[in-house]
Structure formats: structure tokens, C-alpha cells
């Protein structure tokens, strides 16, 4: 299987993340992706290709202009005010506050365009986020030229990023950008299966009103876990999109036998939809020893997961999302991909 990778992810290298009431070293480290790359090379999974440059157009097909503009300028605006410290929002246009006014001050903009304070913007954030989108776009282009399956080794991840909202370590929604590019190039239907531990709130939001994308997500119950405010079972799509969104909120501690049953239901929905292309938002934070998550999949289970997804039997684009147990995530990602190809 081909992998697409860009070293520019190294430019997202924050010193701190606000988590569990403390400023701690970030959970989303450059080491994550380096560990996956090393494993891919060690087992000779296949060629590793660099990302091509696609410019802003495919990004602007998914994200609002003003949001992209904000991301491009956030660091320099912040530095003018506070110097070279990492930028974090401090307040938000929550219930009872106005959402129709975009503040001019950088503090106000940070709150307006984000949904958490755990996603630092640094000097290199835009460069890394843009490269990550280019990784996904390069991978989708390889699919269009006849590859059956390609792995986009994206970082920063993307599935929490909505049209004009960043958070959850995500700035640009790589899976959504690649999906839209496939549709723009003639695909009629794209299926997105999101197996990251966290709900893909951004991806759901982007395609919620559409029937040319089926979104299926398995994730921790939002009553208990991040991102909390989306991912319930009764979110089924709206307007033309009604019936094209499926959420499977799962309990903490879930093991493979139960997880596999729910995954099978999601896979059956996907087979029934029969997409031209399957995009998998691949997070391996479902691992039993993941530092920020509470599912209980084992290293071997990822082989079974990959094998099960092969039953959908469609051209498949894998997009890296979360997974924070370093170095084990290297084994987990390659197990999924090996299980799929076997
Ligand atoms: C892409 C992705 O997986 N983003 C996840 C972002 C989660 N950020 C909030 C984490 C809060 C973790 N609290 C866990 C308590 C155990 N220490
Ligand atoms: Zn996650």
C-alpha cells in the first residue's frame, strides 16, 4: 500500500496543551507520526510518497474563507499582542452571547473560530495544517489514478475541524477536503467511516445536509467524553441529508467482541450505500492503553478491524486521525492496513 507523508507536520510542535486542568506537554506530538512512519518503513508496507501542493481552492471547497484567513494570520496577530507564546482562546460565544459578530481582536477571533482551549496555535500551525490537507489530497489523487487503496499519514489530524471551527488538535478537516475533491472530480457518492475514539464532529457538520456523503462514526458516548456536544444517536442528518448520518456512541471499556458487532452494523450501512470511494478516518485512540481514551481494543484487534473494512470492497482512502500511545500506534496503524490487504 502507498503512503503519503509530509515532514511539514513537524511545524506543529507546541510546548503546552491545556488538558485536565493543567498546562502539560501536548498529547499530539510530532513523535506520533514519526513512529507510524518508522513502522511503515520497517515492515516495508510500500512506497512512501511526498505530498503535492494543491493550493487553497480544495480547502475553500470545505472551509469558510474567513476561517482560512483567520488560520493564516492567527499567529502573527497573536504575536503582535502577546509575543511568541502559543495562542489559546479564553472565552467563547456560548449560549446567550452573540454569534453574529466576528471580533476584531485576536482573543475574540480565537474564541469565535474554536471550540476548545486544548489546541494551541503556534508559529508553524498553518504550514503544518496546510501540508496535512495536501497529504490527504495527494492520496485521493492517487486513488483517482487507479490505486485501490492509499494511506494519508496526516498530522495535524482533521475530523474535529468544522467549516469554520478548529479544536481537538484539528485545524483543517483533511478527510472532508479529500472527500470533496473526490466528489468534484466526478464521484457520485463517498462514504466516510470514522473509527477514531472521539466523535468526528467536524466531518459530521460539514456533510450533515448532504446525501452525496454517508457519514458513519463509532466513538465514545458524548454523554461521557470529548467532544461532548455532538455524536448522539439521534443525529441522522437534515434536509436532503436525512438518513445519511449515523452515530454509534459506545460505552467506556468496550472490548473487541462488542465493538466488532457495532462496527459490523456500520459496515453494513456502508455496503448498502455502495460508495464510489470509502474514506476511513483512522484513529487508533481506541487502544486499551491510550493515554486520553477509555476503550479496550488490543494490538491484534486492529488486524481484525482492517480485515473487516476490506469487506466493503471499495477503493479506500485512509486518513490518519488520533491515537496517542507512542510507539504502539505504529503497530496499530500498520495492523489495520495489513489486515485490510491480506
Ligand atoms: C484527533 C483527536 O483524537 N483529538 C482528541 C482531542 C481530545 N482533547 C481533549 C482530551 C481530554 C482528555 N481527558 C482525559 C482524561 C485522562 N487523563
Ligand atoms: Zn480521537
Mean pLDDT computed over every residue of the chain: 98
What domain range includes position 195? 2-58+124-341
Report the Cα 203 to chain-centroid distance in Å: 8
Ligand closest to CA 169: 1
What is the arithmetic mean of pLDDT over 156-173? 98
Q: What pLDDT is attached to residue 261?
A: 98
Q: Which ligand is nearest to the CA of 220?
A: 2
pLDDT score of 118: 97
Q: Is residue 25 one of the residues assigned to a domain?
A: yes
Q: Which ligand is closest to the CA of 203, given by its number?
A: 1
Interval 66-81 mean pLDDT = 98
**Cα distance between residue 124 and residue 105, in whole Å:** 21
290-305 tens-digit pLDDT: 999 999 999 999 999 9
The verdict on residue 110 lying in a domain is: no
In a domain, 101, yes or no: no
Domain presence at residue 64? no
HSE-CB of 96 using CA atoms within 13 angstroms:
0
Tell me, what CATH number does 163's domain have? 3.40.800.20
Q: Is 17 in the pocket of ligand 1 (CB under 6 A)?
A: no
Q: How many structural domains are present in the chain? A: 1
Confidence (pLDDT) at 163 = 98
Residue 109 inside a domain? The answer is: no
Cα 190 to ligand 2 centroid, rounded to whole Å: 22
Instruction: Identify which of 51, 189, 187, 191 has the alpha carbon closest to the alpha carbon of residue 127.
Output: 51
Pocket lining: 118 vs ligand 1, CB cutoff 6 Å: yes
pTM, to two decimals: 0.98
- At residue 312, the pLDDT reads 98
The average pLDDT across 296-319 equals 98
Residue 208 is assigned to a structural domain of this protein: yes
What pLDDT, on a 0 to 100 scale, did the predictor assign at position 173?
Answer: 99
pLDDT digits (tens, 9 = 90+) for 128-137: 999 999 999 9
How long a stretch of residues is the chain? 342
Q: Are 67 and 164 in contact (CB under 8 A)?
A: yes
Task: Indicate the top mutation candidate among 14, 168, 222, 323 to test ligand 1's pocket, ranked by most ligand atoms within 8 A of CB.
Answer: 168
Catalytically active residues, by annotation:
160
pLDDT score, position 59: 99
- Is 183 among the domain residues? yes
Kindly report, residue by residue over 221-264, the tens digit of the pLDDT: 999 999 999 999 999 999 999 999 999 999 999 999 999 999 99
- CA 41 to ligand 1 centroid distance, Å: 28
Query: Which residue's alpha carbon is at the smallest distance from atom 5 of ligand 1?
Result: 168
* R_g over Cα of the chain: 19
| pLDDT > 90 in the chain, percent | 100
Q: Is residue 87 part of a domain?
A: no
Other C-beta atoms within 10 Å of 105: how many?
Answer: 10
With a 6 Å cutoff on the Cβ, whether 28 touches ligand 1 is no
Amino acid at each position: 500500500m502507498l503512503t503519503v507523508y509530509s515532514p511539514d507536520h513537524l511545524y506543529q510542535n507546541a510546548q503546552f496543551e491545556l488538558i485536565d486542568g493543567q498546562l502539560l506537554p501536548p498529547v499530539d506530538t510530532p513523535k506520533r507520526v514519526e513512529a507510524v512512519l518508522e513502522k511503515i518503513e520497517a515492515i516495508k508496507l510500500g512506497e512512501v510518497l511526498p505530498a503535492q501542493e494543491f493550493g487553497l481552492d480544495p480547502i475553500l471547497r470545505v472551509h469558510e474563507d474567513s476561517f482560512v484567513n483567520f488560520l493564516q494570520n492567527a499567529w502573527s496577530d497573536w504575536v503582535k499582542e502577546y509575543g511568541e507564546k502559543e495562542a489559546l482562546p479564553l472565552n467563547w460565544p456560548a449560549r446567550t452571547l452573540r454569534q453574529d459578530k466576528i471580533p476584531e481582536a485576536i482573543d475574540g477571533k480565537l474564541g469565535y473560530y474554536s471550540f476548545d482551549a486544548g489546541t494551541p496555535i503556534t508559529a508553524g500551525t498553518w504550514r503544518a495544517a496546510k501540508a496535512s490537507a495536501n497529504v490527504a489530497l495527494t492520496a485521493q489523487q492517487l486513488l483517482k489514478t487507479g490505486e485501490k487503496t492509499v494511506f494519508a499519514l496526516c498530522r495535524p489530524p482533521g475530523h474535529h475541524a468544522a467549516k469554520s471551527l478548529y479544536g481537538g488538535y484539528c485545524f483543517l478537516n483533511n478527510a472532508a477536503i479529500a472527500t470533496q475533491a473526490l466528489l468534484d472530480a466526478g464521484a457520485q457518492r463517498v462514504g466516510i467511516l470514522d473509527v477514531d475514539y472521539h466523535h468526528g464532529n467536524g466531518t459530521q457538520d460539514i456533510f450533515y445536509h448532504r446525501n452525496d456523503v454517508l457519514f458513519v462514526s463509532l466513538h465514545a458516548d458524548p454523554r461521557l467524553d470529548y467532544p461532548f456536544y455532538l455524536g448522539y444517536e439521534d443525529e441522522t442528518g437534515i434536509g436532503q441529508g436525512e438518513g445519511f448520518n449515523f452515530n454509534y456512541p459506545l460505552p467506556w471499556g468496550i472490548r473487541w467482541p462488542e465493538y466488532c458487532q457495532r462496527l459490523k452494523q456500520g459496515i453494513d450501512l456502508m455496503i448498502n450505500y455502495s460508495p464510489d470511494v470509502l474514506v476511513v478516518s483512522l484513529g487508533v485512540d481506541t487502544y486499551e492503553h491510550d493515554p486520553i481514551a477509555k476503550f479496550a481494543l488490543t494490538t491484534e484487534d486492529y488486524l481484525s478491524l482492517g480485515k473487516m473494512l476490506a469487506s466493503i470492497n471499495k477503493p479506500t482512502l485512509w486518513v490518519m486521525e488520533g491515537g496517542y500511545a507512542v510507539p504502539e500506534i505504529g503497530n496499530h496503524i500498520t495492523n489495520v492496513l495489513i489486515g485490510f490487504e491480506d
